[in-house]
Amino acid sequence: LAGLGGDPAHDGFGSVRIRAEVAGTHDITPWFNDHSHYYNMGSEALHNMTEIAVGHGNNLAGEGMLAPHRAEERISTPTQVRTPFGTIPLPNVEITTPATVDPEWDRPGDSVTNDHEFK
């Protein structure tokens, strides 16, 4: 996008993504408004940033707080077509779209909570 470079949320960048969704959000553009809530008490983002800051970032995988990488949407053709005369193999064509898909967008609402406090 406009010369901003590689997306650090893609696997090829070499990053590790952490969960940082906002509980109770029903916005159709969560990537726009959620950034204002990273420091909410009990949020996934604040919990994960705290673990990293105090040197316990390795705990995040065991806590289920790592997020999958973003990827480009892919569209592909079928590899075969069945006809009354038999199966016809087709060349596989895969097209990568410019739209990015974030697997976190489809998380069930009840899986995002604000109870990630340290006690």
Whole-model pTM?
0.65
The model's confidence at residue 26, banded by pLDDT at 50, 70 and 90, is low
| pLDDT computed for residue 8 by the predictor | 77
Whether the per-residue pLDDT at 33 is higher than 60: the answer is: yes
Q: What is the pLDDT of residue 24?
A: 72
Beta strands in the chain (DSSP E): 17-18, 66-67, 71-76, 80-83, 86-89, 94-101
How much of the chain exceeds pLDDT 70, in percent? 88
Cβ-contact 107, 21 below 8 angstroms = yes
pLDDT digits (tens, 9 = 90+) for 36-69: 888 889 999 999 999 999 999 999 999 999 998 8
**What is the pLDDT, as a whole number, of residue 99?**
66
**Band of pLDDT at residue 83, cut at 50, 70 and 90:** very high
pLDDT band at 31 (very low <50, low <70, confident <90, very high): low
Instruction: Report in angstroms the alpha-carbon separations of 7 from 14, 71, 75, 94.
Output: 10, 10, 21, 21
What are the beta bridge partners of residue 89? Answer: 80
pLDDT at 62: 96
